[in-house]
Chains A and B, each alone.
Chain A
Amino acid sequence: MTLRLFWKLVRLLMKERMEYRGDFFLAIAAQIISYTGDYIIIWLFIQKFNHIAGWTWPEIALLYSISLFTYALGAAFSFVQMRDLEGQVNNGTLDALLVKPVNPYLYLICRGFNLGYIAHLVVSGSVLIWALTALDLEWSAMQIIYLVLTIISGALIQTGILTTIGATSFIWVRSGFLFNLFFKIKDFISYPLPVFGTFIQILLTFVIPFAFINYYPASFLLSRDTMLLSDEVMWLVPLMGPLCCLAGYRFWMYGVNRYQGAGG
């Protein structure tokens, strides 16, 4: 699966989507409305209470936008693909994927590359840029590089976790409820983690690495102290993404090798 092949695939997918142009744009408009709603409710909240645990609106907007932006990047490569695995395992259609002479994981995530996440990226990208300007930070080249690296890493963490959940469908056949749980747990990182106390911070740092998606990068950019990680390790944070993705991939391959076919 080379990069050239992937771009060709993206062009084809774009053509496919443009066949139903009205439908595509309707879906995008709907997602923009939906995510704007999520922002508005947090904004209304902060209008009333001024801050959450000392984080003001632009800071929360930055935190939330990094979470949504990295989710969109990661999920474009993994969410629908992984969510639908359950059905493919059930119907036996997964077997068609396994006989192709390419790495099944790479084929699956690239073939399913989802252009629909463009709406998430537009909404969260614009708020992200607005928040960065509103915060009046002093930008050095290092900080810009750091932000870019942590966004890539965040996307990889999201992909890694979604991949891990998807892989459970090889073992348990059903995985839908784990995805629901994923979204509920992910809601923790819409807010600054100190709100939730020590246990949650330990959980989201060492067990499910959600905190590395946005809380640590945002804290370091905003020069805020965190309870568990000190400033010195800030450059280690972007390593979490590749690590997480690799772990997810390994688990997925382990699962697919165990897969014996469930239906037919």
Chain B
Amino acid sequence: MKAYIMFGVKSFTKQMSYRSEVWLRLLGNFAVIFIQAEIWKAVIGSGQVDGVSAQQMITYSIINTLMLALLLHRMSSQVDGSLKSGAIASELTKPLSYPLFLLSSGLGSSGYQLVFTVIPSLLIAWFAFGLIPPASGLHFAGFLAAIGLALSISFLLGYLISLIAFWVMNHFALDWMLGGFITIFSGTFLPLWFFPEAWQSAAGWLPFQFLGYVPAAVYLGTLSVTETMVLLVKGVAWSAILLVIVHKLWKKAVRRLVIQGG
């Protein structure tokens, strides 16, 4: 355990060397939130659409934009780098679990993002656009649970992609595909409640909704308590399914691994 914490800390401090660019990141987040906020104000105005106000949608956008900085699905380039350079050979011989090593370094950089970009961006967005408080203490607890699910599902999806890249050797293409599905089905920009029915039910069957829509919807309290509970259980089920898949695939991948350089 101590080793993994150290990997997390290491990845946190590695990110520290980019802290002069924090301003640009804050500006970038501000631009993204600004764009979405203006669009919601333009289409919803001062009224409500389907019982949702522009102010609620702005909070939805703020949560989604900032959560994107914390998600862990982008490790495939790191794995790919190790694969192509051959560094993976030495990483595998270390007496530790490779996926947990990836997870801890991912969490380390997310921790960095949380402290240096998410929290400042949140404060800026709060002043500039206003932020609705969570619907209740219970909803806030559900929101934190949903963030946990978002982290675990995003990690597992990214890890799945990295493993498939052991065969396909093009993590880049796989990343693009994953990105496409996340764009549509995560509800990061357009929440699922505004989807046409067929699209809504498709998104409901997929794991991507947990990366954006679910945490924000739980926070705002737009779902009933039962709906929220069902969704959270579904999220746990998705984590379990993905965990089984990556576990099986990892065993095969290691056996298949051919060190190409080093």
Contacts and interface: CB of A to CB of B under 8 A. Distances in A.
Interface of A: 23, 26-27, 29-31, 33-38, 40-41, 44-45, 47-49, 52-53, 174, 177-178, 180-181, 184-185, 187-188, 191, 195-197
B143 to A, nearest CB: 24
Given A49-B49, A185-B31, A195-B42, A33 B180 contact: yes
A38 B43 contact: no
21 contacts: A23-B169, A26-B173, A30-B180, A34-B183, A36-B180, A37-B179, A37-B181, A37-B184, A40-B183, A41-B190, A44-B190, A44-B195, A45-B189, A45-B194, A48-B49, A48-B196, A174-B21, A177-B24, A180-B24, A180-B25, A180-B28
Interface in B148-170: 168-170
B21 A177 contact: yes
- Could you say which interface size class chain B belongs to? 35 or more
A73 to B, nearest CB: 19
Nearest to B21: A177
Contacts of A174: 21
Contacts of A180: 24-25, 28
Interface of B: 18, 21, 24-25, 27-29, 31-32, 34-35, 38-39, 42-43, 49, 168-170, 172-177, 179-181, 183-184, 189-190, 194-196, 199
Nearest to B34: A196
Given A30-B176, A181-B28, 20 more contacts: A30-B172, A30-B174, A31-B173, A31-B176, A33-B177, A37-B179, A37-B183, A40-B184, A45-B194, A52-B43, A177-B21, A178-B24, A181-B24, A181-B31, A184-B29, A185-B28, A187-B32, A188-B35, A195-B38, A196-B34
Contacts of B32: 184, 187
- Select the residue from B168, B177, B196 with max chain A CB neighbours within 10 A: B177
B170 A27 contact: yes
Contacts of A178: 24
A16 to B, nearest CB: 16
B190 A45 contact: yes
B31 A184 contact: yes
Contacts of B180: 30, 33-38
Nearest to B185: A37
